[in-house]
Structure 1
Amino acid sequence: MTIKYKKLTKDEVRLSLFSNFNRYQEVKKCWRKDNGEWILKEICFTEQWGPDEYKYLVKCLKNTIETGGTVFGAFKKNVLVGFASLENHLFGTKNEYLQLSNIHISYENRGMRIGKRLFYLVCERAIEMGAKKLYISAHSAEETQAFYKALGCIEAKEYNEALVSQEPCDCQLEYSLL
């Protein structure tokens, strides 16, 4: 099955784009920092986005594009099966980070390397925008962290405190673009 990737425009980002998207995740273990060490803990819950989450997502993705960021979509038979977003605000003590704010693959399409391809599209765009590193405030679920670690992401050398305060259980990661 061929997956087509494209940069999305603000007009393309609307609620109907996500009508067949399944943001489902069954979480059994999460990483937590305890006394300076990362420990995998038994933390079980299910995430399933509903109408309110998708409305908020559309608002955020439109804002990303309006402020000069980029949103990529992955499509199978013209149906969105994955997306990623890159913000347009360099930050850090050396102004070298750009934030990968979203990367999600519809549940039925995981394990097909769609996330990996979207990640590398974001990397290419971040380099064009002058970044030296990607910053990812990532879900702490075992599978999510395994995805990022397999790509070469490491714990962020510099934490973005605004992002930490928004999602205190997230793992703060970076990826070198050099």
Structure 2
Amino acid sequence: MYKVKKLHLSDLHEHMLDSFERRQVTTNVWMVESNDFIEKEDRFVDDWSIERKREIVNHFKSIIARGGSVIVAEQDMNVIGFVVIEAETFGELTAYRELSYIHVSLPFRGMGIGRKLFIKAQEVAKQLGVDKLYIGAHPSVETQEFYKRMGCVIAEEIYHEIYQRETRDIQLEITL
């Protein structure tokens, strides 16, 4: 059994993501054209090196120190999923915060962990006074289906700094 918890700086350590399996094989993606989703074939693999995992742990430290939140799912002291709510609020019309990461380790996918993390992220974001979460979401069909099930829609405001990080990502939001 796993538990979901919000992390504090004292919970972080350099090796906490070492056993995390990010690997995702993508064969089809969704693209937005004229505000409609179009499915296209696009084959690639996403994976993280140990160095990348350590960079992400350092990012966790920065986020928590600046007032953002990191929520993890843990089993037997191992991180099997996590979600990150960035510290900065933005948006011309709405108080957005970016949900910059939500990942479940490969062996634990399909068990509802991502759903529980997403729901917990919404609760924490509300406590932070956020109106909406903004997500530059991976374009894979599976990822987009997850966000659709969670109630996400195409973002009303496009935050160009996030869009420019990965122009193939679908810019989504969810109202809290």
Which residue does 2:59 correspond to in 1? 60
2:12 maps to 1:13: yes
| Unaligned runs of at least 5 residues, structure 1 | none
Deviations 1:24-46 (A, max 9, x none): 10100111234554311100011
Q: Which residue of 1 aligns with 2:150?
A: 151
Given the two structures, how large is their TM-score scaled by the length of structure 1?
A: 0.93
Aligned equivalents of 1:13, 1:172: Cα separation in 2:
29
Percent identity over the alignment is 36
Which aligned pairs between 1:89-168 and structure 2 lie closer than 5 A? Answer: 89-168=88-167
Supply the distance in 1 between the matched residues of 2:55 and 2:15 (Cα, whole angstroms): 13
The gaps in structure 2 that reach 5 residues or longer are none
| Pair 1:73-2:69 in alignment | no
**DSSP-derived class of the 1:101 partner:** strand
Question: Following superposition, which runs of at least 4 residues in structure 1 exceed 6 angstroms of deviation?
Answer: none
Asked if 1:48 is matched to 2:47, the reply is yes
- 1:90 and 1:44 mapped to 2: Cα distance? 34
TM-score between both structures, scaled by the size of structure 2: 0.94
Give the AA of the match of 1:128: Q
| In 2: Cα distance, 1:37 partner to 1:151 partner | 18
CA RMSD of aligned residues (A): 1.3
Pairs aligned (count): 176
